[in-house]
Amino acid sequence: MQRQVALIKQSLFDQGYLDEQFVELEELQDDANPNFVEEVATLYFKDSARLISNIEQALERGSFDFNRLDNYMHQFKGSSTSIGASKVKTECTMFREYCRVGNAEGCLRTFKQLKKEHATLRKKLEQYFQLARQAGPKETARRPK
Amino acid sequence: MATKSMGDIEKIKKKLNVLIVDDDPLNLIIHEKIIKAIGGISQTANNGEEAVIIHRDGGSSFDLILMDKEMPERDGVSTTKKLREMEVKSMIVGVTSLADNEEERRAFMEAGLNHCLAKPLTKDKIIPLINQLMDA
């Protein structure tokens, strides 16, 4: 089962969902906090759900306040960077670019893709953490090949 | 603090005392964990105004302050300026986003930082600064 866990993790990196920062977080895990990364991920998804909701409400109003949208996305990008959520981070960057040039359609399109990437990452990480818990204490975090 | 060779963080005799100033709860948790992993202890502030109050009220003394740039109430630039006006001597390290341009980083440095690091923070980025503190 450890092997299955390792394979799932490797695929998350190979498919570009996660970057090096995730490994940095795993290296911070110790006996006192063996589930540190899962706790961080849980907090990330809770906070990012709030940001997604705020952005949705702002977009639904119809009149695009690009400054407000950019501010929300700045926060979203920051937390995505902190956890190593690479694809989500990329979409955040694109969204901010569209805000910068005042492109509403670009914002809407990118936001749709961002939500898709975010949902996929959430599902994959939930699967990973569930398997990891079942597999039991694992070896030290290893950088992806 | 005991003087140790480069990389020998594990044997710090006096615990490094760090103030982490950031409005992102995720960053606060991660940065606290990093500091703990390298043998330090930390206190947090959710924005610059809290950081100023901590220094004004508690007479606290920190070896290192990790200062986020973008924060509500009082941002990192304003907070750094204020702390230097209050004659806070701690090493203050600004934590910036990669999206910040050179001008923004320069303004942050000129506010009174000792160093500037780009997010995300990692042990490898912080340890050289800790060594510098220990050698001082």
Which domains, ranges and CATH numbers included, belong to chain A?
1-14+34-135 (1.20.120.160)
**Residue A51 · residue A91 · CB < 8 Å:** no
- Give all domains of chain B, ordered by start, each with its CATH number: 17-135 (3.40.50.2300)
CA distance A28 to chain B (A): 7
Tell me: ipTM over 0.90.
Answer: no
Query: What predicted TM-score, i.e. pTM, was given to this entire model?
Result: 0.86
Encode burial over B27-57: b for 16+ CB neighbours within 10 A, e otherwise. Answer: bbbbbbbbbbbbebebbbbbbbbbbbebbee
In a mutagenesis test of the A interface, which of B23, B24, B26 is the best target, namely the one with the most A β-carbons within 10 Å?
Answer: B26
The side-by-side arrangement of strands in the sheet containing B91-96 is B41-45, B17-21, B64-68, B91-96, B115-118
pLDDT tens track, chain A, 145 positions: 788 888 999 999 999 999 999 999 999 998 888 899 999 999 999 999 999 999 999 888 777 899 999 999 999 999 999 999 999 999 999 999 999 999 999 999 999 999 999 999 999 999 999 999 888 765 444 555 5
Q: In chain B, which residues have their Cβ closer than 8 Å to the Cβ of A79? A: 24, 26-27
Q: What does the alpha-carbon distance between residue A72 and residue A55 come to, in Å, rounded to a whole number?
A: 7
